[in-house]
Amino acid sequence: MTTKFHGNENVACEAHEPDFLQCVEGFFDQAAAVCGVKKSTLSAIRGIDAVLSVTFPIERENGETEIVRGYRAQHSRHKLPVKGGIRYAKDVDMHEVEALASLMTYKCAVVDVPFGGAKGGVAINPREYTVGELERITRRFALELCQKNFLGPGVDVPAPDVNTGGREMTWIMDTYRQLNPTDINAPGCITGKPINQGGVRGRTEATGLGVYYSTREFLKFEQVQKVTGLTGDIEGKTVSLQGFGNVSFYAAKFFIANGAKVVAVSDSKFCAYNKDGLDIEKLGKYKAEHGSLKGYPDAEITEGSTKALEVECDILVPSALERQIGLKNVHNIKAKIINEGANGPITPAAHEILVQKGVVIVPDLLANAGGVCVSYFEWLKNVSHVRFGRMNRKWEEQGKERLLALVEEQAGRKLSESERQQVIHGAEEHELVYSGLEDTMIKACEETRITAEEFGDIDYRKAAIANAIRKIASCLEGTGVMFASRG
């Protein structure tokens, strides 16, 4: 099997280290060895259920015809629909899609989202195409998925990924709806849509918020404090983030809003470092205007995305690509906690070295599950056909008004209008989404801690995957689906 390198990945990994799919399977096998699930069930969980590889022609605006290749993998259909993003990248291939689909299954299970795992990819660099050409590619890929029964509210629910967003999700939804004009649940065929197309408020920042919540919860654990020597508060901690896309931008905002100091951020080519802290909004505007962090005046700029991994900090958030910490650079890592904002940023060998050094790793299937959770909330909104809060917000406010009137009467003092509004305010949709995500992350982090202790202080990645395996096994064995085809 060939090893594929993304960007600076060869700076991190030795040639003999496993590729992404092998990393995911290796981590699964380590957790499988301690989880107590029987081998036949483990084999059923580990395998990929279905894969789709398609090629189709599109006409470029210069009149030329180009053949485009797309992929979709459905790792597990123990729960339906299956869910996972669609990535547009020149070097995306079936191995990568299978790895991400597998990881998505375990991610959904660990945070109790009742979906199976899937992933898709289209092998193009979107920057090389016009908007019209991208729309034709996206709609044709959606058509291929529909024709092969890989797309629908009860079958497969794709979501945005690298180089895709609400625009592409809308094109896919519209293609599905045209092919299924009587399906009233058509908006639920895909998540990550704009609000005016059935999206949910809070989805954009969800993954970054989940990174913040999971870091905050792990810092509260006594064992984490003991190993790292850190206090249990976010306030005062230093943070470095590799990657400057949606995940790291919002994670940085939430860390800063809660008292942390972001000292380093890198994009795909450069790293910005300031020991006194970076202004993340100003940095984001500079990147948008100039295309990279090169030349940013209020930081020390060095070349190389992986530089952000090696700075002195309390919390490191690799949120770029897979296999960014390997045997070549693992000994340069100085962070005390690593929160995997990206999928698969650490190779198995590097993971073991870090754990032995006492570095606490919040694993990807838990750390970046915020997007999965809020995609689930969006799907619920679509199939229930009602905005969150619409039925109960005013009733909640009226109840608080009556209670407040009694309190004011007993206290002999009227609150100011601003004080009154703070008390009686009913939850808006994004506040309910935040609340649901926070509750989910707290529960999943606590389950991971308990399992790590149950199995004799194993690392948190093994614990999280073991939890996922046991939940999936319970579903498969409970329904008898593993043996349904046997006479």
- Active site positions, annotated: 119
CA gap 269, 283 in Å, rounded: 15
Are 77 and 45 within 8 A, CB to CB? no
β-bridge partners, 207: none
Locate 115 and state its tokens.
Answer: 């979906």
- Helical (H) or strand (E) element with 123: none
CA gap 393, 401 in Å, rounded: 12
User: Could you tell me whether strands 65-74 and 116-122 are parallel, antiparallel, or unpaired per DSSP bridges?
Assistant: antiparallel
The residue with tokens 């990147």 is 287
* φ, ψ for residue 456, nearest 5 deg: 90, 45
Tell me: is residue 246 an annotated ligand-binding position: yes
Peptide bond into 81 cis (omega under 30): yes
The residue with tokens 């949606």 is 246
CA gap 238, 227 in Å, rounded: 17
Tell me: is residue 207 an annotated ligand-binding position: yes
Are 50 and 76 within 8 A, CB to CB? no
Please compute, for residue 40, the number of CA atoms within 13 A of its CA located in the half-sphere on the CB side: 6
Tell me: is residue 107 an annotated ligand-binding position: yes
Among candidates 102, 100, 96, which has minimal Cα distance to 69? 96
Specify the long-range contacts of residues 202-205, CB closer than 8 Å, at least 24 apart.
202/374, 202/377, 202/429, 202/430, 202/433, 202/434, 202/437, 203/371, 203/374, 203/375, 203/377, 203/378, 203/433, 204/246, 204/250, 205/246, 205/250, 205/253, 205/254
End-to-end Cα spacing for the chain: 37
CA gap 193, 15 in Å, rounded: 40
**DSSP secondary structure letters along 411-449:** HT-PPPHHHHHHHHPPPPHHHHHHHHHHHHHHHHHHHHH
Q: Which residues are annotated as a binding site?
A: 83, 107, 207, 246, 375
